[in-house]
Every structure is written in structure tokens, then in C-alpha cells.
Copies of this chain bind each other. A is one copy, B any other.
């Protein structure tokens, strides 16, 4: 790893960094619990734990995104009801998934202004993971696409993936900053490549995005919102110079 250079490329995560996502999954899970309440005698935490177990088991085969989530909801419903779940309840679960896919994109506070400030100064890209079609559709509906230098939709956010994206766009890691709500997906793998990262936590984090974070992994700024990002990058750039 060489020294840090001037910041040239700023990459933004999509879900829960630019637009709301996890809260919609949380709301959907609440409706899922209501749907199953007549059939099973499990409290909220126990049902959520069963779902998480199914999601974890399915991750390597189904990957991330709403379609994988919907299939995991269906499997969980069958398992916890020991097969007694009704056809109409399964259809209701499929419809919950479709509602998530069709949900309007709701930008987080201050996002258009922050992106506008950044695009005047850096090459700005989105690096997001999940269903290809759904992520493309969210980028398009966000109204942000026009000013972006690039959009990359990936199936996993680990160091090899970031390395591939950086190589493809001929980006020097030392001039690259990744910004997102997940320490596990947006921060640690980029630090490992010699890039910089900014953590902007969302008010709720999916269990499978919880990092095994060791302070020895490196330092990174933590911001309360994207509004503070332009000034933060300014300061990081000054530090590197």
C-alpha cells in the first residue's frame, strides 16, 4: 500500500446510504409476523431468529436482494407452521415481496444536495449490491443517475469485488473513497485494499451486515448523514496532501 493521494473518485453505497431500504424490510417482516400469528405460537424474537437462520442458510445460493428475501420468508413460513401455511398466505408473502420491489425510492435527507456538491468536485459513482433489475430500477428512479460517473451493481461487497471494480475503471485505491452504512460491506474491504472509507450509519442494520470489527482494521470517519460528507472529504483530502 502506498501513501494516500488526492481524492479523485467517491463511491456511494445505495441501500440505506442514498435511499431507505432496511426499514422497508423491517416493516415487511412485521407484516409477515402478523400473517403467521394465527398459525404459530412463536414470539417476535423467535420468529425473527428463525427467518435469520433461513436467510443465512440461503445466502450462498440465493444471494442478496428482495427475491432472495421473499423466498426465505416463504421457506420460514412453511418451516414454522410445519407445512400448515395456507396457499393464500404464501401468495400474501409473494405480494409483500412484489410491494418491496415496486416501492417508490425514498432518498435520505440531504442526499440530492450532497451528491450535487460532490459531483462538482469528484468523479462520483454508486456501488451497490442486490437484485440487478431492482438496483438498476432504484438508481434510475432516484433521479441521481444523470450526474454519476459510473454505476456498479455487484453480488457481494468484499475486497476481490472492489479490486475488480477499481481495476475496471482504472482507479488508484489511494485516490478512492467508499461511503456507506455498512462497516462490513462498505468500509473494511476498501481499507484492506489501501483505499479510504466513510461510515454513515443507518438507524437500523440487518443482522447479516453486522461486522466483526476489530479496531486494528483501521480508522475511518463516522458521519451522522450524507450532508456532512462534502466537508469530511475536504478534510480528508487536506490531510493527505
Contacts and interface: CB of A to CB of B under 8 A. Distances in A.
Interface stretch (A18-26, A84-92, A171-179): A84-92
Given A67-B67, A131-B63, A83 B91 contact: yes
Contact of A136 (B68, B74, B101, B155): B155
A94 B74 contact: yes
Interface residues of A, number: 37
A78 B67 contact: no
Copies in the complex: 2
A101 B60 CA distance: 10
A91 B83 CA distance: 8
A62 B81 CA distance: 27
A63 B94 contact: no
A102 interface: yes
Given A71-B67, A86-B83, A97-B71, A78 B62 contact: no
A71 B91 CA distance: 10
A85 B83 contact: no
Interface of A: 58, 61-64, 67-68, 70-71, 74-75, 77-78, 81-88, 90-91, 94, 97-98, 101-102, 131-134, 136, 153-156
